[in-house]
Amino acid sequence: MKHNDLIVLSMLISTLMGLNGCASDQSIAPPSNQIISGDQMLRDSQAIAQLNSQWKKGKQLIEQGNTLVREGQTKIDEGSRLITEGEKIVHESEESYKKIKQ
């Protein structure tokens, strides 16, 4: 091997050893081989069922809110259209009145 190759190889080994040292500092709990009891499984499934129920309730509220927002926007749009139409009629009436008074 060339001298440069040895330097690169030694740097690579040093880096890998450093990374391995960093990784080994983390304390990772080994997987538990403990058997879960039927009671624990029942409690867990009941908790999950409760979370599912809460999620469904939240999702339903979101859908109801979105429906109300859409209906509200429709009413706002209709109200704006009525205002525009009314303003046009008022303006035309005022102009007609001015012509009659002249």
- Encode pLDDT of 23-82 as tens digits: 444 555 556 677 778 888 888 889 899 999 999 999 999 999 999 999 999 999 999 999
Residues with Cβ within 8 Å of 36's Cβ and at least 6 positions away in sequence, in order, are: 44
Predicted local distance difference test score (pLDDT) of residue 43? 86
Q: How far apart are CA 32 and CA 55, in angstroms?
A: 30
**Model's pTM, two decimal places?**
0.50
Nearest-CA neighbor of 36 among 45, 24, 48?
A: 45
